[in-house]
Structure 1
Amino acid sequence: MEFFLIDMFIAAAIFGFLYGFLLQKADFCFVASVRDFVSVRDSRLGKGVLILIATAMMGWGISLTFGWSTIGEVWSVPIGFTNLVGGLLFGIGMTIAGSCASGALYRAGMGYVQFWIVIISMMIGNILFALVYDPWTANYVQQPLQLAESGFSLFQLNLPFLLLPILIVGVMILITIRQFGVKGFFNGFKEAAMDLKGNPLKRSHWDIRLVAFLLGVIATVQFIIMSSISITGPETRMVGVALSFIFGEEFIYNNTYLNQMFASFPSIGIGPEETLIIFIVLGAFVASLLSGSFRLRLPKKKRLPYAIGGGLLMGISSRLAPGCNIANVVSGVGGLSISSIIVVIGMAVGVFIATAYIFKMPLLLFQKMDFEDDIAS
């Protein structure tokens, strides 16, 4: 058991700040990428998600090829039915809540009280899963995330690490060129870079393609020097720390699931990954201040059941899958993890079901929410 070095906390704070800053600048939300396409055929955010996946995939392949990381560090969990069910429920939950796990963090930093409620509800859902898991479902659901055997990544095939990423990204590029032409493909790079002209810090919105690429690069650097990015795991530990102050540390150690969540910790406390989560909110706060978009916004009462119910479902299902959209899309699919590919498919299907069949007018319900603004004097 190793003690965390101060350098890791500093690195985590930097990574978190950059993630929050960039997510806010592009209004980058994973649930919206599917929801907007289903409802109004808007593929802007979807293209950003694909660029992020392509960048992470190439980044993981490069880091493994040059020995900067090892195959054992690739985030992958056992393959099972819970991957699909957890992903499906998470997709429905984040559609109801109006935001994915990362989207809730950066919007909380922008002053949206609704998404603070979503985050708190997610954390409660995480703990509810842990309390139900031990003692009632431990033998029927799955092993705790950190005790489970490793899953399977396509990087484990006896192939050069960069081969599959190059082939997959190559196919993605060919499809893009076929749709937009060679000129349109390269014009996309020009258009994305335009947001760096002038004073980009004060610009209210950056091109989603530029932000997706930068997020993928930062996630790769984090993978090399620290760990794979995740959100709901650290959030679960943050609640565990709070509960240890209320009920004592034995309460955590006596729960099978929560105990294993702190297996790599010297004691029950806040580690680098939890620091990263806190700084995502801070990064989004600074970004919104610089662009003049920060404002304290209170949700109407009729929105609260969506925030609470969706957040609870996200928290529970993120432990079942396991992992949230960030862990599975960036770390998982970027690491060619089969379990994460299944989870992401489940999430996409869940968003589709909630958008197409549960909520007939999702844009009126979520994308164009009317908030009661409360500007502090």
Structure 2
Amino acid sequence: MFFILDMFILAGIFGFLYGFLLQKADFCFTASFRDWISVRDSRIGKGVLVLIATAMLGFGLMLTLGFASVEQVWSMPIGFSNLIGGILFGIGMTIAGSCASGALYRAGMGYIQFWIVIACMIAGNLLFALVYDPWAADYVMEPLALTEEGFSLFQMNLPFLLIPFLIVALMLFIASRQFGWTGIWQGAKESLQDMKGNPLTKSHWDIRFVAVLLGILATIQFVVMSSISITGPETRIGGVLLSFFFGEDFIYQNTYLNGMFADFPVIGLGPEETLVIFMIIGAFVSALLSKSFRIRKPKASRLPYAIGGGLLMGISSRMAPGCNIANVVAGMGGLSISSLIVIVGMAGGVFIATAYIFKMPLMLFQKMDFDFDESA
């Protein structure tokens, strides 16, 4: 197939908006797990739940109205690789200090550390591809597989909106027991406070409000383009770089990379890769408008964490498969069983890294975020 220019323009718009919104709310999935595990801070976690709820309702509505089909739902084969990949990804993103989407928007803010994380993630993607055939495919991935196809709860013979409504109703019931309906309504009003004045120049937007916008944006992308993903496109970006050094035949002869470019007319960048690149640009513009952009050089002591965490994230994202945003937004929005398993694994991985690798997680990560060499 050949990609038309309109798809690249559309991808650029989606990517820009994702990056802009993620930066405005400092929306990091790693922190959503880590902060709750370490100090029971649920602020970012609430944003993740709102995002999941919005995506589920949005996907269900689009399927109900016939704007999309179940075949478009992102769902991967089910197996123990979902759980193991999720655990390793959770450990990796905790060590690196950021999830896949968080690394992109922070790179746009000027954090050199997260450019290193992104580069190492791509290296990890390629490392997995190079060992996939003949070793990983036959001796790791195949034995771990339970099904050859993915499964989404939308495939059940039920109204598309039924399950999303039931899940969201349960979320609201639990929230009402903790905060009361008055508290929920007050929280909804408070989430709009950052929109007063000129919101574009503000350094922070309420994460709940941003979560709704991200869920709506992901729903629109699901209908007009594809489900959002990051590490898959990053793997193809790495494949394109390899082709410059070793030629296109090297890519075609690699079973995994050949499959990654199966829908491409040539070895090159497509709309999804454009979307990932524009996420960085969107975050950059957002940071400029709020005067929060600054080149931040990491301390040398942080580099092993960026390199090791990035490599582990890249490798495990191919095992799971998918990163945090693909499984949380596209996967849970599409009621994918494999994504649910991956997210459980990620939460477990963050717990392992937070509780056993880093003994003082909150102090460590506060230092990670702000202890930069300002002479850069």
Q: Could you state the TM-score of these two structures normalised by the residue count of structure 1?
A: 0.97
3-state DSSP of counterpart to 1:205: coil
**1:1-377 residue pairs with structure 2 within 5 A?**
2-142=1-141, 149-369=148-368, 370-374=371-375
CA drift of 1:139 comes to 1.5
CA distance in 1, matches of 2:210, 2:77: 31
CA distance in 1, matches of 2:136, 2:100: 25
Counterpart code for 1:10: I
Deviation digits for residues 230-285 of structure 1, max 9, x if unmatched? Answer: 00000000010011111000000000000000001111100000000000000000
Counterpart code for 2:240: V
CA distance in 2, matches of 1:367, 1:341: 29
8 Å CA contact 1:52, 1:216 repeated in 2: yes
CA distance in 2, matches of 1:367, 1:61: 38
Deviation digits for residues 118-176 of structure 1, max 9, x if unmatched? Answer: 00000000000000112322222337xxxx94301000010000000000001101111
CA distance in 1, matches of 2:366, 2:216: 28
Counterpart code for 1:176: A
CA distance in 1, matches of 2:222, 2:155: 17
3-state DSSP of counterpart to 1:124: helix
Counterpart code for 2:152: S
**Structure 1 unaligned spans of 5+:** none
8 Å CA contact 1:64, 1:161 repeated in 2: yes
CA distance in 1, matches of 2:288, 2:7: 27
CA drift of 1:22 comes to 0.4
CA drift of 1:178 comes to 1.4
CA drift of 1:52 comes to 0.4
8 Å CA contact 1:152, 1:337 repeated in 2: yes
CA distance in 2, matches of 1:374, 1:178: 50
Deviation digits for residues 291-313 of structure 1, max 9, x if unmatched? Answer: 01000000001000000000000
CA drift of 1:191 comes to 0.5
CA distance in 2, matches of 1:374, 1:106: 22
3-state DSSP of counterpart to 2:292: coil
CA distance in 1, matches of 2:313, 2:335: 23
Counterpart code for 1:96: I
Counterpart code for 2:305: Y
Q: CA RMSD in A?
A: 1.0
CA distance in 1, matches of 2:363, 2:173: 36
8 Å CA contact 1:295, 1:373 repeated in 2: no
8 Å CA contact 2:78, 2:149 repeated in 1: no
Counterpart code for 1:275: T
Counterpart code for 1:182: W
**Structure 2 unaligned spans of 5+:** none
Deviation digits for residues 5-45 of structure 1, max 9, x if unmatched? Answer: 11100110000000000000000000100101111111000
User: Higher mean Cα deviation, 215-224 or 184-193?
Assistant: 184-193
CA drift of 1:288 comes to 0.4
CA distance in 2, matches of 1:126, 1:9: 23
3-state DSSP of counterpart to 2:227: coil
8 Å CA contact 1:24, 1:288 repeated in 2: yes
CA drift of 1:196 comes to 1.0
8 Å CA contact 1:154, 1:336 repeated in 2: yes
CA drift of 1:362 comes to 1.6
Counterpart code for 1:158: N
3-state DSSP of counterpart to 1:150: strand
CA distance in 1, matches of 2:112, 2:247: 30
3-state DSSP of counterpart to 1:270: coil
8 Å CA contact 1:74, 1:228 repeated in 2: yes
CA drift of 1:368 comes to 3.0
8 Å CA contact 1:98, 1:367 repeated in 2: no
CA distance in 2, matches of 1:37, 1:328: 20
Q: Could you state the TM-score of these two structures normalised by the residue count of structure 2?
A: 0.97
CA distance in 1, matches of 2:375, 2:109: 13
8 Å CA contact 1:96, 1:306 repeated in 2: yes
8 Å CA contact 2:89, 2:317 repeated in 1: yes
Deviation digits for residues 348-374 of structure 1, max 9, x if unmatched? Answer: 010011101110112222233211124
CA distance in 2, matches of 1:157, 1:140: 33
CA distance in 2, matches of 1:195, 1:216: 19
CA drift of 1:107 comes to 0.2
CA drift of 1:177 comes to 1.4
